[in-house]
């Protein structure tokens, strides 16, 4: 792809700004570990919300959403629930508050808050550290290939994808090492501003270039309907026949059953709380529990409308102007060709540079957040806890520099080998995520779960998730989920019941500090004996109602962007009405009742 000198200057200027910013912020970040990994818990909640939304705005995920919208139409708004996207609603309503009350540095350190410091707690702590580090390495190899492929397609120099990936990961590492969380947040905000401008620009280009009639001619019946039945009933045989085969391979044809499975898995995943990655680090970086909730709320606000302006704009332009090219590809239809086509044919000089800088930043933003979170676990939960517990702040900051480099080097090494170990890496990551769910739901809501039970649930779930594809290779990850959940859950419960409960002092401190609702009556009674003025958390019903309303509120955001760009004004008005009604409800029943402490 040929790039104008002005566009190249914009890209180079962006890279220079983020590196310089890292060195400017280095003094502020090097005070102690809280400063380096949590920004000294002094960053405003809305800035952290933008940073978190920016980290989730990765271009690989965006391209998947473009394909989903292209193929499945408005029904595609339900597909991201497989991750699930509505976990941010659970966080904003109550889980971010609970997590921030623990006042720790990492998710693994949180384990000590819940289980104390005995053998079971140490085993649980190690399992979370392993989960976090392997997840980081798995993502790094994924990001390595992604950024390399992106750069090789869009940048003009004759370099291999692996060389491009090494260069850009190296640049990212420089500013992450120098400025820690401050650098990550600063660059995330810059990237978010760039991507927001580009997103709205492409959305309005699509509105200007594509009439409703032209779009109607390019889509099959049912594409503009958000509702669904047991099956999808979207047939591309008259427009792009090969797309039907690709959709069959996605496994969404029995959409009603798929949706129920996704909803069940999504609710449990959301109740487990955020994974020990950059999302959790943002929550722990907020100034107070109230700001943690507001930050999680703002993630949805900042992310969905601009991102879906970009997704819908690109999709609409591709449907009308690129469908014939996709159809000509036959069975080799490649949706990754859409983005280069849009950039080459619809964006003027200068805007191309902003677009490429924004897409490059999208990779780097998710990458830098993950590196920062991974280094935090190595320093705080391994080096400081087991190797040098009495080190100085200066020593720990130097260790942070080293661990940041180590995480990147190992990630790059896995990236170079990913063609031979990619399947194994995905098994490991999928296994860790499968094994994570049951014990991490129980840890919040059931007092009797102990450290040994937590560890047993994690290990059994991981083992089953790794072995299941070998025994039943035809079983999809989603269909295998119930088996992993049942075995992991049984292991957590049975081992906990057959071993001693955690120390009363540990449980009372956790319960009185975090104040969860759930099955905590024995501990509540003991706390009341010592502290009669203690107030029990009685917000279960209110939190569940707010969560249900919050999911409807969140779902209206991408629909507003999609309906606006495709100019379907009846759907737009309904979506805006849902947004207004749910916002008023949440203002009265959630925001007005947020507690400062």
pLDDT in tens, 291-341: 999 999 999 999 999 999 999 999 999 999 998 888 888 877 777 778 888
For 123-175, write each residue's pLDDT tens digit: 888 888 887 787 777 777 777 777 777 777 777 778 888 888 888 888 777 76
**pLDDT given for residue 498 in this prediction:** 95
Nearest alpha-carbon partner for 234 in 256, 219, 249, 246: 219
Question: What are the residue ranges spanned by the domains of the chain?
Answer: 5-502+535-593
- The three-class DSSP label of residue 227 is coil
Q: How far apart are CA 571 and CA 198, in angstroms?
A: 24
Q: How far apart are CA 432 and CA 456, in angstroms?
A: 13
Q: How far apart are CA 338 and CA 347, in angstroms?
A: 13
CATH of 5-502+535-593, one of 1.20.1730.10, 1.10.443.10, 1.10.4190.10, 3.40.50.2300: 1.20.1730.10
Helices assigned H by DSSP within 212-350: 212-218, 241-250, 255-271, 278-285, 289-321, 323-328, 338-346
**pLDDT given for residue 31 in this prediction:** 57
348 Ramachandran zone, left/alpha/beta (phi>0; psi -120 to 50): beta
Q: How many CB atoms lie within 10 A of CB 52?
A: 28
Exposure letters 26-42 (e unless 16+ CB within 10 A, then b): bebbbeebbbbbbbbbe
Q: How many CB atoms lie within 10 A of CB 505?
A: 10
Query: Is there a contact between 166 and 361 (Cβ–Cβ < 8 Å)?
Result: no
Q: How far apart are CA 266 and CA 516, in angstroms?
A: 20
Exposure letters 405-429 (e unless 16+ CB within 10 A, then b): bebbebbbebbeebeeeeeebbbbb
Q: How far apart are CA 329 and CA 334, in angstroms?
A: 8
Q: Which residue carries 């060389």 as its tokens?
A: 163
**Residues ≥6 apart with Cβ < 8 Å to 371:** 136, 140, 172, 173, 176, 404, 407, 408, 411
Work out whether the CA dihedral 188, 554, 431, 425 comes out positive or negative.
negative
Q: How far apart are CA 318 and CA 337, in angstroms?
A: 10
Per-residue pLDDT of the chain (597 residues; tens, 9 = 90+): 667 888 888 888 877 877 776 666 655 545 555 655 555 677 889 988 998 888 777 766 788 889 999 999 999 999 888 888 899 999 999 999 999 988 877 777 788 889 988 888 888 888 888 877 877 777 777 777 777 777 777 777 788 888 888 888 887 777 667 666 666 777 778 888 888 998 999 999 999 999 999 999 999 998 999 988 888 888 898 888 888 888 887 778 788 888 888 888 889 989 998 877 777 878 988 989 999 999 999 999 999 999 999 999 999 999 999 988 888 888 777 777 788 888 888 888 888 888 888 877 777 766 766 777 788 788 888 888 888 888 887 888 788 888 888 888 887 887 776 554 444 444 444 556 667 889 999 999 999 999 999 999 988 987 887 787 778 777 766 677 788 889 999 999 999 999 999 999 999 999 999 999 999 999 999 999 999 999 999 999 999 999 999 999 999 999 999 999 999 999 999 999 999 999 999 999 999 998 654
How far is residue 241 from each of residues 322, 323, 425, 557, measured CA to CA in Å?
15, 11, 34, 32
Read off the pTM.
0.87
Q: Which residue carries 């080998």 as its tokens?
A: 417
Q: How many CB atoms lie within 10 A of CB 150?
A: 24
Strands in 332-403 per DSSP E: none
Dihedral angle of Cα 285, 280, 140, 397, to the nearest 10 degrees = 30
Q: How far apart are CA 395 and CA 68, in angstroms?
A: 48
Strands in 113-237 per DSSP E: none
**pLDDT given for residue 425 in this prediction:** 46
**Residues ≥6 apart with Cβ < 8 Å to 500:** 450
**pLDDT given for residue 421 in this prediction:** 41
Query: Is there a contact between 405 and 177 (Cβ–Cβ < 8 Å)?
Result: yes
Q: How far apart are CA 206 and CA 346, in angstroms?
A: 9
H/E element holding 558?
Answer: helix 540-566
Query: Is there a contact between 321 and 575 (Cβ–Cβ < 8 Å)?
Result: no
């Amino acid at each position: 792809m040929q790039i104008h000198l002005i566009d190249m200057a914009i890209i180079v200027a962006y890279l220079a700004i983020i590196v310089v910013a890292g060195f400017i912020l280095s003094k502020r970040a090097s005070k102690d570990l809280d400063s380096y990994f949590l920004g000294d818990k002094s960053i405003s909640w809305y800035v952290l919300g933008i940073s978190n939304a920016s980290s989730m705005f990765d271009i690989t995920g965006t391209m998947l959403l473009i394909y989903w919208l292209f193929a499945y139409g408005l029904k595609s708004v339900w597909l991201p629930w497989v991750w699930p996207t509505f976990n941010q609603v659970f966080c904003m309503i109550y889980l971010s508050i609970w997590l921030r009350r623990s006042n720790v540095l990492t998710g693994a350190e949180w384990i000590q808050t819940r289980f104390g410091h005995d053998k079971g707690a140490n085993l649980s702590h190690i399992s979370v550290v392993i989960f976090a580090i392997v997840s980081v390495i798995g993502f790094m190899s994924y990001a390595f290939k992604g950024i390399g492929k992106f750069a090789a397609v869009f940048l003009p120099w004759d370099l291999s994808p692996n060389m491009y990936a090494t260069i850009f990961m190296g640049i990212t590492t420089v500013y992450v090492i120098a400025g820690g969380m401050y650098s990550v947040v600063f660059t995330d905000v810059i990237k978010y501003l760039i991507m927001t401008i580009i997103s709205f620009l492409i959305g309005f280009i699509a509105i200007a270039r594509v009439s409703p009639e032209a779009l109607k001619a390019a889509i099959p019946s049912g594409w503009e309907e958000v509702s669904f039945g047991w099956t999808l009933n979207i047939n591309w045989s008259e427009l792009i026949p090969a797309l039907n085969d690709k959709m069959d391979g996605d496994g969404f044809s029995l959409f009603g059953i798929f949706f129920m499975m996704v909803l069940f898995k999504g609710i449990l995943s959301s109740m487990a709380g955020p994974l020990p990655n950059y999302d959790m680090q943002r929550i722990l970086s907020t100034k107070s529990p109230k700001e943690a909730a507001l930050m999680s709320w703002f993630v949805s606000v900042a992310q969905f409308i601009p991102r879906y302006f970009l997704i819908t704009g690109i999709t609409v332009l591709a449907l009308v102007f690129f469908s014939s090219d996709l159809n000509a590809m036959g069975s080799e239809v490649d949706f990754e060709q859409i983005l280069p086509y849009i950039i080459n044919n619809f964006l003027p000089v200068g805007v191309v540079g902003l677009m490429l800088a924004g897409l490059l930043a999208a990779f780097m933003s998710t990458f830098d957040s993950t590196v920062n979170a991974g280094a935090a676990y190595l320093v705080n939960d391994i080096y400081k806890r087991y190797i040098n517990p009495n080190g100085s702040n200066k020593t720990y900051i130097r260790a942070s520099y080293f661990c940041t480099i180590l995480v990147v080097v190992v990630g790059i090494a896995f990236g170079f080998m990913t063609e031979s170990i990619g399947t194994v890496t995905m098994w490991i990551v999928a296994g860790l995520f499968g094994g994570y769910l049951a014990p991490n739901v129980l840890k919040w809501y059931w007092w009797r779960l102990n450290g040994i039970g937590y560890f047993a649930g994690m290990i059994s779930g991981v083992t089953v998730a790794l072995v299941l594809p070998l025994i039943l290779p035809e079983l999809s990850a989603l269909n295998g989920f119930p088996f992993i959940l049942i075995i992991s859950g049984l292991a957590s419960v049975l081992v906990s019941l057959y071993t001693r409960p955690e120390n009363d002092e540990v449980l009372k401190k956790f319960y009185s500090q975090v104040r969860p609702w759930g099955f905590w009556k024995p501990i509540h009674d003991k706390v009341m004996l010592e502290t009669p003025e203690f107030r029990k958390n009685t917000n279960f019903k209110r939190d569940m109602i707010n969560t249900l309303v919050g999911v409807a509120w969140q779902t209206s955001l991408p629909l507003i962007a999609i309906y606006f760009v495709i100019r379907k004004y009846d759907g737009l008005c309904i979506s805006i009405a849902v947004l207004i009604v749910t916002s008023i409800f949440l203002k009265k029943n959630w925001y007005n009742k947020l507690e400062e402490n």
